[in-house]
Chain A
């Protein structure tokens, strides 16, 4: 892989990450599933379970449909206090599998702000991604969110 190719790949993946965090942070969650392939895996798991090989996830979507259902849950079904997230991401590393697929790792921080102004560092951890690149651009085939804390404050309803 050439240096030029590597830079282009990195830019494509950074652009995907940016679209991802803006969709969530700007409350355009309806745009969030479209960043994934139709058959995909989106999973939030705590470091406690992940490191012990325990399969239980905090949230697990095994298709884009299940991701859409999470958005429906948030918009229509569940009761929770109004809140928003701000993501910070850093430390992106790429590990290409072949010409079209890349394993990626990055760090994230999510600050949660409630309607009354309470701000907390809600979650910190790593994104372990499998990204697929085709003519339409980059998409997540898999995003596993490994949250460092085993504990969740009150509830988690907006995806990380």
Chain B
């Protein structure tokens, strides 16, 4: 299935203000995405350099459906390769991470170095002159499938595409600048969350870049004035909409506009018995207190007050995806700040006061669109029809239109 075949569907004439429901559930579309997006000219977040500090340190992850190993080589460089023995296709590494001198397959013992080069196969020359590989068997033809890896500010990304532009160009100037802001000093991983979402991967990626829902669905945000549209903030778009960031500045809150509107998200009679949950520190000089950055296709970099986390979404079929959260601080955090991050971590993850709601909302959409016909589409006209950065107002769906613009160009739809 390649782009030049007849498209699997006709995109609505209204363009990126519409997304046909069919793209959320169709197995053929899903298979096409694997080829044209995840094996296409995109950079996929793989891990943090901090997770693979020493030669031989590795992590396992996925690019789309494909299992991947990321490893620090003996020269200190970063290598990425498909986690699949070239012989019979078995996984080489089953753990989330660890340290190896070489990758040796359990099945028949084929061994690869940290660059994925096949070092040897047991009984290559047979036993006593009998059996073994043919004389023309060439080890060099059976290395692990290579993945281009590049690191930016300690974040490791990979691509299958030789045509993908360099990582920093792919990110674009504003996304790169925001990553420089967050990853400005060494980070330390404080733990992981893993969350299964029973919805198409794109529904979560839309959600993560949607400033319209954030203060309506997420009652905790609006009620405790952590994030409202009546704060200074904005939406930054990069790479023609492929990537985006929504941000707000907590100290600029203007009262009003929510109260008395009947918006479910402002509960005037709810308080916290222990407000120490919300003890926080301004650790960035730009005043931004909530920033959710979405790098196409499936990476999210979030700052919600003092919680810092990377989220990587791995699609697992049309109706399922697994969200991997890597929660981090800085190596030089003082004990108070470290405790604040951990206490505030109650806001995020699968049990987070803010993010609980996102766990189920995509599933409600997935179930809601079941049985929809070819003509049914989601509508995204908030803020007009454009894909552009805005400052001041976040009452917009521009970042979603940007996502669909990137999606359509890669899928040929």
A interface residues with partner B (beta carbon < 8 Å): 44, 46, 48-49, 54-66, 68-69, 72-73, 76-81, 150-157
Question: Which residue of the partner chain B has the closest CB to A44?
Answer: B351
Q: CB of B372 within 8 A of chain A?
A: no
If A155-B359, A155-B360 touch, whether A54 touches B220 (CB-CB below 8 Å) is no
**Selected contact of B189 from candidates A54, A69, A78, A79, CB within 8 Å:** A54
Chain A contacts of B197 at CB under 8 A?
Answer: 154
Query: By the criterion CB–CB under 8 Å, are A77 and B223 in contact?
Result: yes
**Selected contact of A69 from candidates B274, B322, B345, B356, CB within 8 Å:** B274
If A60-B342, A151-B195 touch, whether A79 touches B274 (CB-CB below 8 Å) is no
Q: CB of B164 within 8 A of chain A?
A: no
CB distance from B191 to the nearest CB of A (A): 2
In the complex the two chains form, what is the Cα distance from A57 to B193 in whole Å?
9
**Selected contact of B346 from candidates A55, A60, A68, A77, CB within 8 Å:** A60
Chain B contacts of A58 at CB under 8 A?
Answer: 193, 349-351
Number of interface residues of B (CB under 8 A): 38
What are 22 of the A-B contact pairs (CB < 8 Å)?
A49-B192, A57-B342, A58-B193, A58-B349, A59-B351, A62-B343, A63-B274, A64-B273, A65-B274, A66-B277, A73-B220, A76-B267, A76-B270, A77-B219, A77-B223, A79-B217, A150-B192, A150-B194, A152-B351, A154-B360, A155-B359, A157-B351
In the complex the two chains form, what is the Cα distance from A46 to B190 in whole Å?
13
CB distance from A17 to the nearest CB of B (A): 22
Chain A contacts of B343 at CB under 8 A?
Answer: 60, 62
If A60-B342, A154-B359, A155-B360 touch, whether A55 touches B351 (CB-CB below 8 Å) is no
With A60-B343, A73-B353, A150-B192 given, name 12 new contacts (CB 8 A): A44-B351, A56-B342, A56-B345, A58-B193, A66-B273, A66-B276, A69-B277, A73-B220, A78-B219, A79-B360, A153-B196, A154-B197
Query: By the criterion CB–CB under 8 Å, are A154 and B195 in contact?
Result: yes
CB distance from A91 to the nearest CB of B (A): 25
**Selected contact of A55 from candidates B191, B267, B353, CB within 8 Å:** B191
SS class, residues of chain A in contact with chain B: mixed
Query: By the criterion CB–CB under 8 Å, are B190 and A55 in contact?
Result: yes
In the complex the two chains form, what is the Cα distance from A59 to B350 in whole Å?
9
Query: By the criterion CB–CB under 8 Å, are B273 and A54 in contact?
Result: no
Query: By the criterion CB–CB under 8 Å, are A54 and B191 in contact?
Result: yes
Question: Which residue of the partner chain B has the closest CB to A71?
Answer: B273
Residues in B220-234 with C-beta less than 8 Å from chain A: 220, 223
